[in-house]
Amino acid sequence: MTKLLMRALAGETLPTPPIWMMRQAGRYLPEYRATRAKAGDFLSLCYNPELAAEVTLQPIRRFGFDAAILFADILLVPQALGADLWFVTGEGPRLSTITTEADFAKLGTVDDIHDTLSPIYETVNILSQALPKETALIGFAGAPWTVATYMVAGKGTKDQGPAHMLKDENRDLFVRLIDRITDATIEYLSKQVEAGAETVKIFDSWAGSLRGQDFDDFALEPAKKIIKELKARFPDLPVIAFPREAGDRYIGFAKATGADCVAIDNSVSAEWAAKNVQVDGCVQGNLASSHMVTGGQALVDEAQAITRALRGGPHVFNLGHGITPDADPDNVARMIEAVRSA
């Protein structure tokens, strides 16, 4: 019995899509909040293999999702490269910034990352043995551009201004930063696969702020390089790419990068994606996460409309972005029921 997620990623058109949710292990679940408190804080949770595996399993137990996503964060890679990283409650991540040659020179090399990241591989290893046999295990990393936006600015930004400035003022330095992250990401994801991840997802949350040649250079090319190298090492590994808010650049993204599945956000419709993206393979998405807060008939109608719109080809049901802390867990159960009965 092949797992539902793996079948969809392989290009199979299924009567009912596999379902999972971005940030499915998170603050909207009381059991997550309890385990995080036990760990002390978010980063301690990420680096504690037993507890990170536990929070990964919580939404599987509660909802029976078809896939589990490793519990970690995209900003662990910068930390493993030597950046300082901390989380300010209610505000988000903070990092030491990379804006000069001197800052860049202080970063570690690709070979250094496993010292920091080995607990993450242990989490994957625990999960690969603890998950129900029908549940697929997804590893992940941030895409180089998105990770770079945090490394340059030292925090999340609305318009990714600092990264755009460095890219435009000192492209040579910026390219070397992107290359360092790209190489680290290849090694990080390879270790996750060796530990038992069955597919990996590359999160490019800020791809939508790149235009024209910049999109090619910093969203498309790094994804292509990562996927090419992963497939050379693991020929059967399917890869999910998420160039969020790429708009019309979603068209052809799978072909250009070698991704097996493209995840779409809420700025495009499922009908549009069926015509323009699903022609090249599997599409993942794209219920608005606000429905997980508001629920009701609108949630059921929209979940079923998306399921039907993408039913003519390979589809993985998901949200268009992560579930938010104010979501009602009962709405998650309702969503799953709506999709499976559509």
Q: Would you tell me which residues interact with ligand CP3 (CB under 6 A)?
A: 22-27, 36, 42, 69, 71-75, 92-93, 140, 156, 203, 205, 322
Alpha carbon 66 to its chain centroid, in Å, reads 16
Is 27 designated active site? Answer: yes
Report which residue's Cβ sits closest to ligand CP3: 205
CB closer to ligand CP3 out of 95 and 166? 95
Listing DSSP states for 38-87 in one string gives: HHSSHHHHHT-HHHHHHHHHHHHHHH--SEEE----TTHHHHHTT--EEE
What is the closest distance, in whole angstroms, from the C-beta atom of residue 179 to ligand CP3 in the complex? 20
| From 7, 36, 180, 249, active-site residue | 36
Distance CA 57, CA 150 (A): 28
What is the closest distance, in whole angstroms, from the C-beta atom of residue 308 to ligand CP3 in the complex? 26
Residue 118, both tokens: 């080995």
CB closer to ligand CP3 out of 51 and 303? 51
* C-alpha gyration radius of the chain: 19
Do 141 and 189 form a contact (C-beta atoms < 8 A)? Answer: yes
CB closer to ligand CP3 out of 73 and 313? 73
What is the closest distance, in whole angstroms, from the C-beta atom of residue 289 to ligand CP3 in the complex? 10
CB closer to ligand CP3 out of 182 and 205? 205
Distance CA 54, CA 191 (A): 20
Instruction: Write phi, then psi, for 241 (nearest 5 degrees).
Output: -115, 145
What is the closest distance, in whole angstroms, from the C-beta atom of residue 13 to ligand CP3 in the complex? 26
What is the closest distance, in whole angstroms, from the C-beta atom of residue 5 to ligand CP3 in the complex? 14
Distance CA 322, CA 299 (A): 16
Which of 316, 52, 36 lies closest to 192, judged by CA?
A: 52
CB closer to ligand CP3 out of 39 and 309? 39
CB closer to ligand CP3 out of 69 and 181? 69
**CA torsion angle for 166, 176, 43, 196 (degrees, to 10)?**
140
- Taking each helix axis from N to C end, the angle separating 161-169 and 171-195, rounded to the nearest 10 degrees, works out to 120
Do 277 and 262 form a contact (C-beta atoms < 8 A)? Answer: yes
Is 36 designated active site? Answer: yes
CB closer to ligand CP3 out of 79 and 190? 79
Is 28 designated active site? Answer: no
Alpha carbon 335 to its chain centroid, in Å, reads 20
Residue 59, both tokens: 């939404």
Residue 131, both tokens: 């998950």
Distance CA 270, CA 306 (A): 6
Residue 341, both tokens: 């009965």
Is 150 designated active site? Answer: yes
Is 32 designated active site? Answer: no
| From 73, 204, 265, 280, active-site residue | 73
| From 150, 244, 249, 250, active-site residue | 150
Residue 115, both tokens: 């010292």
What is the closest distance, in whole angstroms, from the C-beta atom of residue 284 to ligand CP3 in the complex? 13
What is the closest distance, in whole angstroms, from the C-beta atom of residue 312 to ligand CP3 in the complex? 27
Catalytic residues: 23, 27, 36, 73, 150
